[in-house]
Structure 1
């Protein structure tokens, strides 16, 4: 068995690798979706690896994803092993190892799953060997997240910007802020956060260092920096911040939070409502968001705001990964 990068393979081998990626049941990609992502430079031949046997058959394929301007892949988006392979975890682990060695990094593996996947024997089995393969390749830490989505009302011509969305309560005042102010709030929000990625990051860096990384990340997202808002109580006391954002595909909640000393007062609902109102006023048809399954207060806020869970996202990553 040899492990090949599609960038150095002949077109026929590349086509066989992509054909396998379209098979299910977990993270199956349609041929059309694959071609769209390749055309958008989010999938790339140099980020596509496959196993090939002595007869030229392709028993395993891995596709990593990144933004169009990414220098290295951001995440493993698809890992498929042909049905009937005796030890799919071993084959997949070797394939991931070849890719990691070429990239010089170990991007996390993001699996998109239906709710209740553990009760579906086929889905549970498909996840089990993938989780084992990822662990063998060094991706031993997992975070399970809920992906939310809300369809926004289409605003009538000349209608109020907040039509169909919660009206402001007056409990918070939102304003623009400087990078220095946002850095301070990012650092403050990290303390006591229930977000697992934040808690893991604080094991290796200070809240201030994490704040700089967070600010750089969100500035680099497709959303505009001018969308960001600080949240204050009517008397001017800082309460938190709202960062409407976007992905390459749709509008996104981005980042939101309430500073520790103001938590427990229900202010998160108004922060989330501000982001929802902003996207509605911009004419967005839908907004997506994610939160960890263990972050029960944030999940409850999304539920109250009319966001619905569309899938579960299982993230497998290397310990110490940012």
Structure 2
């Protein structure tokens, strides 16, 4: 039976062949969808649309590192030509219906991450669309965790030579890095680290969580990871250059509390950038930092990284 043009239908994709339907709305990650489906990072049953007839008026999708379980809600798009109240209601119905089917009952809900233009607050049209998505998320109990700068180093940008003030060595293994990550967690300016500590994790437990859930999953050599020491062997901090499924990245930089305030962050970032820039075919290096982490943001700027986007993360407590 044909569906009435104004009747709202909410359903998952029937398979990869419906990717064109999903792409009726647009987002900056659209170019990754086909490869994500082919590699198993996405599943059609994690990709949902809200339809009026054949027209997509909202869509939503989750991502995973290996396809075993949804880890991140990273697509949530609304047809911004709809009147505001109708747009919100369509988005809410899609979000609630799809989440009930995709997210395992009783478990934590994957956080919502969204990329936005760096000046999204200055453009009234863009701001309206961003705030509509935030508003719908908040109606389901989500809250804003953090806004982040997304940064990029581009091939040809000068990288400072090693000035010799610090000595760099490869990370010797999980316990070696955890011994440095744990004190870095104390007084961290990173919103996700603060969230972990606020939920009752100790600094060691928060460091183990980040290592096991993120750092251990990078497939690039751990020989790239660097610990910085003073000439006498006293540790200063560490930098984790890596490559995720899409780009070379600076995954993590940490300066030990006792060593902060001496400008070592620039030397750590420069070392990580040198490691990645020295690999074949690297045209860009991506990184991100919380808007509130001013020392880290300033260091990226001094090293020639440019802010090409912002992002925000929302969580359900």
Q: Shorter-normalised TM-score: what interval?
A: 0.7 to 0.9
Partner of 2:11: 4
Contact 1:5-1:46 within 8 A present in 2 as well: yes
Per the alignment, in what secondary structure is the counterpart of residue 289 of structure 2? strand
Tell me, in whole angstroms, the C-alpha distance in 2 between the residues paired with 1:3 and 1:288: 35
Residues in 2 aligned to 1:232 and 1:10: alpha-carbon distance in whole angstroms? 52
**8 Å Cα contact 1:110/1:314 also seen in 2:** yes
Corresponding position of 1:168: 162
Match of 1:117 in 2: 120
Measured at CA, do residues 58 and 281 of structure 1 come closer, stay the same or move farther in structure 2, by a change above 3 Å?
A: closer
- What is aligned with 1:141? 144
Distance 2:15 2:41 in 1: 21
Q: Deviations over 1:266-314 (max 9, x none)?
A: 0011111110111122232211100001100000000011111111112
Could you say which residue in structure 2 is the equivalent of 1:72? 69
Say if 2:250 is the partner of 1:247: no
CA distance in 2, matches of 1:15, 1:187: 43
Contact 1:66 1:73 in 2 (8 A): yes
Q: Which residue of 1 aligns with 2:92?
A: 93
Relative to the length of structure 2, the TM-score reads: 0.87
Q: Equivalent of 1:304, from 302, 305, 309?
A: 302
Among 180, 202, 214, the residue aligned to 1:206: 202
Measure how far apart 1:19 and its partner are.
Answer: 3.3
Q: How many residues align?
A: 300
Retained in 1: the 8 A contact 2:48–2:61? Answer: yes
Corresponding residue number in structure 1 for 2:182:
187
Match of 2:255 in 1: 258
1:224 counterpart residue number = 221
Whether 2:24 is the aligned partner of 1:20: answer yes
Q: Secondary structure at the match of 2:82?
A: coil
More displaced 10-residue stretch of structure 1: 212-221 or 35-44: 35-44
1:129 maps onto 2:138 in alignment = no
Question: 1:259 & 1:29 partners in 2: Cα distance?
Answer: 35
Distance in structure 1 (CA, Å) of the matches to 2:311 and 2:184: 23
Secondary structure of 1:117's counterpart equals coil
* Farther-moved stretch of structure 1 (282-291 vs 299-308): 282-291
Tell me by how many angstroms 1:190 deviates.
0.4
Q: Distance in 1 between matches of 2:9 and 2:267?
A: 55
Which sections of structure 2, spanning at least 5 residues, go unmatched? 1-7
Deviation at 1:11, TM superposition (A): 7.9
Residue 88 of structure 1: how far off its partner (Å):
1.6
Q: For residues 285 and 244 of structure 1, do their structure 2 counterparts lie closer, same or farther at Cα, with a shift above 3 Å needed?
A: same
- CA 137–264 in structure 1, closer or farther in 2 if over 3 Å, else same: same
The separation in 2 between residues aligned to 1:89 and 1:153, in whole angstroms, is 45
In 1, the alpha carbon distance for the partners of 2:242 and 2:302 equals 21
Q: Which runs of 4+ in 1 moved over 6 A?
A: none
CA contact (8 A) 1:231 1:239 kept: yes
